[in-house]
Amino acid sequence: MKEIILLFLCFFLGIAGAWTLIRLGEQIGMTDLPNERSSHNKKVCKGGGIGILFAIMIASFFLKIAHFLWLPALGISLASLWGGDRYKLTVKQRLFVHFGCGIYFLLFLSETIKIGGDFYLLSIPLALLFIVGTSNFYNFMDGIDGIAGITGLVGFLLLANYGIRIHAAPNYITFCVCICASCIGFLFFNFPRAKVFLGDVGSILIGFVFSCLTIVLANSAMDFLIMAGFIFPFYIDEISTMVIRIKDRESLILAHRRHLYQLLVNEMETPHWLVSVGYGIFQAIVGLSLMTVKPLGVSAIFSTYFIYSMLFIVISLLVRSKAHAYK
């Protein structure tokens, strides 16, 4: 019964955060103005992810989530609110905060890290890169209505499902479901048409918490490989786009509109909601596939990643070719 009440509380906090920013965002300077890189054409308030932050903090308190998870999550989210949504930190300053929060998490978790096995010392920097990379990738991919909220909902639902399968601690499974509930609440104002954006306060937070939970829940390298794939579309879109931009000698720190989801919305004029739902369905298929092939071993997991990567790349190349023809 207590868990159900907590879920409803997190759901309403997701709603409350979005609703509050819609009402007050313009007054406190929390608005996103459209520019040549945007996928929207009107001014929209941002920072609606503050409700998800409150939900995560409340859930952490009642579920007794370890301080080395919720405290850096709070830090990275508030830093993103101040340095991303309200003001602007430099790339170096942002990365300093991200690495600092990741190091805090890993230092206190170090005794329980299992993904490295005999390569324990190597696993720490790899885990740190995974955390910082996921936090930023999630932020980069939050560019159209609904995509970050839906990805968060599906991703943490998959984490909860897999946590049950591997007999993870019940409080962490419930924690994942609480985050799902807050994402649903936020989506009422962000999907199918956004009245408010998640903002850095929410997108970087979700990416950070997802990556940390993946490490916390993993009992083995195989578990880690499977759970990391629960937001696979964000990884493959960001990485493939980075490769293309590097090939074209573009600066990776400059804003752009070259992700597949951006091309689908901006050049192909596909509705935001359809692209976001499509990414969510693809995400669920990949996640369920990885869980299904687990009994076949690591080679089957890598084969699954390869197949879906090739599928995504083929679709991406076709869309990019058509988008180029439209110019």
Of 200, 162, 155, 212, give the one whose Cα is nearest residue 182: 155
Least confident of 14-28, 78-92, 157-171, 219-233: 78-92
- Mean pLDDT, to the nearest integer, of 22-31? 90
> What is the rounded CA–CA span in Å between residue 55 and residue 52?
5
Ranges of H-type helices in 141-271: 147-165, 170-187, 200-217, 221-228, 232-247, 260-266
pLDDT > 80? residue 110: no
pLDDT of residue 327: 57
pLDDT of residue 111: 59
Helix axes 272-293, 298-326, angle to 10 degrees: 160
Q: Give yes or no for a contact between 60 and 69, defined as CB atoms under 8 angstroms apart.
A: yes
pLDDT > 80? residue 174: yes
pLDDT of residue 36: 66
CB atoms under 10 Å from CB of 277, counted, come to 16
CA 130 to chain centre: 12
228 versus 118: the higher-pLDDT residue is 228
pLDDT of residue 42: 84
**By residue range, what is the domain housing residue 291?**
2-326
The letter for the amino acid at 241 is T
pLDDT of residue 86: 81
Task: Report residue 30 as tokens.
Answer: 């929390």
Task: Report residue 167 as tokens.
Answer: 């007999």
Torsion of CA 255, 84, 90, 132, to 10 degrees: -80
Query: Using the 8-state DSSP alphabet, how is residue 295 labeled?
Result: G
**Bridge partner residues of 16 (DSSP):** none
pLDDT bin (cut points 50, 70, 90) of residue 116 is very low
- Strand, helix or coil for residue 87: coil
| Summary mean pLDDT of the chain | 92
> What is the rounded CA–CA span in Å between residue 22 and residue 19?
5
pLDDT of residue 112: 54
Least confident of 21-35, 55-69, 136-150: 21-35
Tell me the pTM: 0.95
pLDDT > 80? residue 1: no
Got the DSSP string for 18-52?
HHHHHHHTTTTT-EE---TT-S-SS-EE--TTHHH
Per the structure, the count of domains in the chain is 1
Residue 242's alpha-carbon distances to 239, 258, 318, in angstroms, are 5, 9, 17
pLDDT of residue 288: 98
pLDDT of residue 52: 98
The letter for the amino acid at 11 is F
Which residues sit in the known binding site for Mg(2+)?
Answer: 139, 200
Q: Give yes or no for a contact between 314 and 255, defined as CB atoms under 8 angstroms apart.
A: no
Of 203, 72, 56, give the one whose Cα is nearest residue 128: 72
Each residue of 301-318: pLDDT tens digit? 999 999 999 999 999 999
pLDDT > 50? residue 59: yes
Each residue of 246-289: pLDDT tens digit? 999 998 888 888 999 999 999 999 999 999 999 999 999 999 99
pLDDT of residue 247: 93
pLDDT of residue 124: 85
| Residue partners of 56: CB distance under 8 A and separation at least 6 | 70, 73, 178, 179, 182, 205, 209
Which residues sit in the known binding site?
Answer: 139, 200
- Mean pLDDT, to the nearest integer, of 46-60? 97
